[in-house]
Amino acid sequence: MFNAINKFPLAAIPFFILAGNIMETGGISRRLVEFAKSLVGGVQGGLPMTCVLTCMIFAAVSGSSVATTFAIGTILIPALIKHGYPTTWAAALQATSAELGVIIPPSIPMILYGVSAEVSIGELFIAGFGPGILIGLALMAFVWVYCRIKGWGKNDGDGRLGVGKATWQAGWALLMPVIILGGIYGGVFTPTEASAVAVFYALVVGLLIYREIKLADLAIILRKSVLSSAVIMFIIANAGLFAFLITRAGVPDAIGHWLEDVLKTPAYFLLGVNAALFLIGMFIETSAAIIVLAPILAPVAMHFGIDPVHFGLIMVVNLALGMITPPFGVNLFAACTVARISLDRMIKDLIPFVLVILACLMVITYVPGLSLGLRDLVYAR
């Protein structure tokens, strides 16, 4: 169990969680919302599109979907309800949009996959941009069409700031993903070191520039971050023990040989794995599923000639669906908490969003260039 968590890249997890909580308290997330609203809020359905775009930007520094749900949802779910959107639909939109928090880098599940499958975390991060942007654009297109059909959001542009003013006010917040991602791909620091830089930058901006964090708030932020980090580390430790036991029992090899015998081609293999991961993600927490399954499935994928980075993106996107599907979707519970509704009330509104993500998953699965094109360009492959 100790060996499972005694890995340097895993140190990024508590730091990214802490950075997300600091951003939520320090006014950074609110300024990102105003910036996104200035860009897309002027059209019919602009407020739901603002939700998606803000989650895309916030994802570039948080690495966590739950942190994204609370940081953005506490601002936008009440705003959506105020503008006449159904509470259940607003919660479903926020839960789905927050899934981008683990797809657009930096991403905690990508770190876990990289450690478990021994794949470059930097390559996973850069490969995540294509799928993340695809899903974000697909969600914005869907809500734009859906709102026009329903007649919602005709006054969403009321009270929005101009692009110039919103950009100026959010300047320090927008600089954060530039520093983090630019530092990683510029070779200034590793993804793990970037997580510490994210905390430092968010703290400086929240305390000294925006001045919305008081010293008394730090204890609350730290407590929340420690609890979230402890839960994830406990899952990793126990999943590591489980992985050790099944490896000693020869289960991964048996599963690998069975998959090779039954699923003869890469296309069938990917289809079968996607179906299995979708079901598994409904009942097993994403982090635990990745730690247990990545060492089993990644070698089989490589046997079929599938790039391990591409396969990692497929796993992350698919298992992230488990965060917005009953009965154990953590994003659903987070969004329901913010919206103050029960889970069963939002299931009907959630179905179209899940179908959009599934359609994007099929594109990501069978168009590897979407994930690997930028990776190959940056790493000159």
Give which of 19, 71, 312 is closest to 180, Cα–Cα.
19
Buried/exposed code over 192-211 (b: 16+ C-beta within 10 A; e: otherwise): bbbbbbbbebbbebbbeebe
C-alpha distance from residue 283 to each of 162, 247, 289 (Å)? 44, 22, 9
Which one-letter DSSP state was computed for residue 209?
I
> Alpha helix (H) ranges present in the chain?
2-5, 12-25, 28-40, 46-62, 65-82, 87-97, 108-117, 121-127, 129-150, 163-169, 171-185, 191-204, 215-248, 251-262, 266-283, 286-303, 308-320, 330-339, 343-366, 369-378
At 1 the pLDDT is 61
> Which amino acid appears at position 103 of this protein?
I
Tens digit of each residue's pLDDT (9 = 90 or more) over 137-193: 999 999 999 999 999 888 776 667 788 888 898 889 888 888 888 888 777 888 788
At 354 the pLDDT is 95
Give which of 328, 342, 350 is closest to 90, Cα–Cα.
350
| Its pTM surpasses 0.75 | yes
Measured CA to CA, the distance from residue 300 to residue 318 in angstroms comes to 17
177 token code pair: 């993903």
At 67 the pLDDT is 78
Tens-binned pLDDT, residue by residue, of the chain (381 aa): 656 566 666 777 788 888 878 887 888 888 888 899 888 878 888 899 999 999 998 888 777 787 788 888 888 999 899 888 999 999 999 999 999 988 998 888 898 899 889 898 889 999 999 999 999 999 999 999 999 999 988 877 666 778 888 889 888 988 888 888 888 877 788 878 888 898 899 999 988 898 888 888 899 989 988 887 787 777 777 766 776 777 777 776 777 777 777 777 899 899 989 998 998 888 887 888 888 889 888 988 988 899 999 999 999 999 999 889 888 788 888 888 888 888 888 889 999 999 999 999 999 999 999 999 988 888 766
At 257 the pLDDT is 74
100 near 61, Cβ under 8 Å? no
**Cβ neighbourhood burial of 262 (10 Å; 0-12, 13-18, 19+):** exposed
Domain range list for the chain: 2-378
At 3 the pLDDT is 62
Measured CA to CA, the distance from residue 27 to residue 218 in angstroms comes to 14
